[in-house]
Amino acid sequence: MKTFKTAVIGLGLSCLAITAAAEPVTVTSCNRQVTFDAPPVRAVSNDVNLTEMMLVLGLRDNMAGYTGVSGWKTLDENMRSGIEELPELSAKYPSKEVILGADADLYFAGWNYGLKVGGEVTPDTLAPFGVKVYELTESCIHIMEKDQISMDDMYVDLLNLGTIFGVRDRAETLVAGYKQELETFYASLETGDRPLRAFVYDSGEEKPFTAGRYGMPTALIEAAGGINIMDDIEKSWTLIGWEPVVERNPQVIVIVNYGDVTAEEKRAFMMSNPAFADMDAVKNDRFVVLEYVEATPGPRNISAIQKLASAFWAE
């Protein structure tokens, strides 16, 4: 994962000092405007992808800890070295008491990424205690209308974090580097005449859990020259039936790898099920695996696009 390693310059290295903002800054977080009088110094991030956004910007020293990782996912070597000095405050979604107990001044999370509509931990429930919340842009669809997902959603989060923590120049340099890397990659990529039909298989056998119009895989697939066959579903992630998958006949299946069921087990389930035998992806055994941290908004989206495009157009 060249992009991520280059941008972070090794997650295990000491993070750069943050220069305090000279004046308050305001960012848009979903349907709210959030003002910060100074960069947070005890931030808490939820989930592996949001935590990596913090780390790639060199913000480890401004963090009190992280939540929502080990309860579902295994950390790779790169990630472990980046957070070895930080405590995991909660294996899954944190309670309000966990966040307050960490003396957090910022909770970086998303709806269904550590926040639940009507739940115990929301911007409204944390505000009385002086804990500000910045919400992952992809997740805003759960509480408001938004445009279809795109790579700009991930870039906006990095830029907003840069603004919040007083490292906007660093964030702008990082985003520009990501865009340039993709341009360089595209310059040598040969694609077909029309987008490749792709289906995102996250989990489930009786009914598949997949990404719709507002889920990050849709942006990744489009950036790789494909089309998510479920991009007409007005959801980010959702359960559907198998019938529309068969009817829309994907040419490639993108498996999201995490949890107790391995990517190979998911592939074996589809390959062995007679109901899927006539799918182009199954007939041609065309599967590509994205790790959870690649399939959700974060720094590894850049390498994920390259992985998808290479698999889509290898033939």
Q: Residue 110 and residue 140: Cα distance in Å, rounded?
A: 8
* Residue 73 in domain: yes
CB distance 197 to 227 below 8 Å: yes
Shared domain check, 295 and 251: yes
Q: Which two tokens stand for residue 238?
A: 């959702």
**pLDDT at res. 14:** 38
Strands 106-111 and 43-46: parallel
Which residue intervals of the chain are DSSP H helices?
2-8, 48-56, 77-83, 96-101, 123-126, 151-164, 168-187, 216-223, 243-248, 263-272, 280-283, 292-295, 301-312
For 255, the domain range is: 196-312
Q: Residue 180 and residue 175: Cα distance in Å, rounded?
A: 9
Please state the φ and ψ torsions of residue 33, each to the nearest 5 degrees: -105, 125
CB distance 26 to 33 below 8 Å: yes
Q: Residue 73 and residue 9: Cα distance in Å, rounded?
A: 24
Which are the contacts of 40, defined by CB distance < 8 A and separation ≥ 6?
Answer: 62, 105, 106, 132, 164, 165
Shared domain check, 285 and 162: no
Among 148, 179, 210, the domain-final residue is 179
Q: Which two tokens stand for residue 274?
A: 């007679």
Q: Residue 42 and residue 140: Cα distance in Å, rounded?
A: 24
**111 DSSP β-pair partners:** 115
b/e per residue 107-135 (b: at least 16 CB within 10 A): bbbbbbbbbeeeeebbbeebeeeebbbbb
Place of tokens 């849709």: 218
- pLDDT by residue, tens only, the chain of 315 residues: 333 333 443 343 334 444 444 589 999 999 999 999 999 999 999 999 999 999 999 999 999 999 999 888 777 777 777 788 899 999 999 999 999 999 999 999 999 999 999 999 999 999 999 999 999 999 999 999 999 999 999 999 999 999 999 999 999 999 999 999 999 999 999 998 899 999 999 999 999 999 999 999 999 999 999 999 999 999 999 999 999 999 999 999 999 999 899 999 999 999 999 999 999 999 999 999 999 999 999 999 999 999 999 999 987
Shared domain check, 42 and 169: yes
The terminus-to-terminus CA distance of the chain in angstroms comes to: 23
Shared domain check, 243 and 212: yes
Residues counted in the chain: 315
Shared domain check, 16 and 133: yes
* Residue 191 in domain: no
Q: Residue 291 and residue 117: Cα distance in Å, rounded?
A: 26
Question: Domains in the chain: how many in total?
Answer: 2
* Residue 161 in domain: yes
pTM of this prediction? 0.91
Q: Residue 244 and residue 120: Cα distance in Å, rounded?
A: 36
**pLDDT at res. 254:** 98
CB distance 289 to 255 below 8 Å: yes
* Residue 190 in domain: no
* Residue 167 in domain: yes
**pLDDT at res. 84:** 82
Shared domain check, 207 and 109: no
Q: Residue 243 and residue 223: Cα distance in Å, rounded?
A: 27
* Residue 46 in domain: yes
Place of tokens 């959700």: 296
Question: Which CATH number does the domain housing residue 169 bear?
Answer: 3.40.50.1980
From the CB of residue 168, how many other CB atoms can be counted at a distance below 10 Å? 16
Per-position DSSP letters for 138-163, written without gaps between them: GGGGGTS--PPP-HHHHHHHHHHHHH
CB distance 149 to 216 below 8 Å: yes
Shared domain check, 249 and 169: no
Q: Which of 190, 205, 271, 183 is nearest to 3 (CA)?
A: 183
Among 117, 148, 179, the domain-final residue is 179
Q: Residue 254 and residue 199: Cα distance in Å, rounded?
A: 6
Shared domain check, 238 and 277: yes
Shared domain check, 171 and 221: no
CB distance 156 to 174 below 8 Å: no
Q: Residue 110 and residue 195: Cα distance in Å, rounded?
A: 30
Shared domain check, 89 and 31: yes
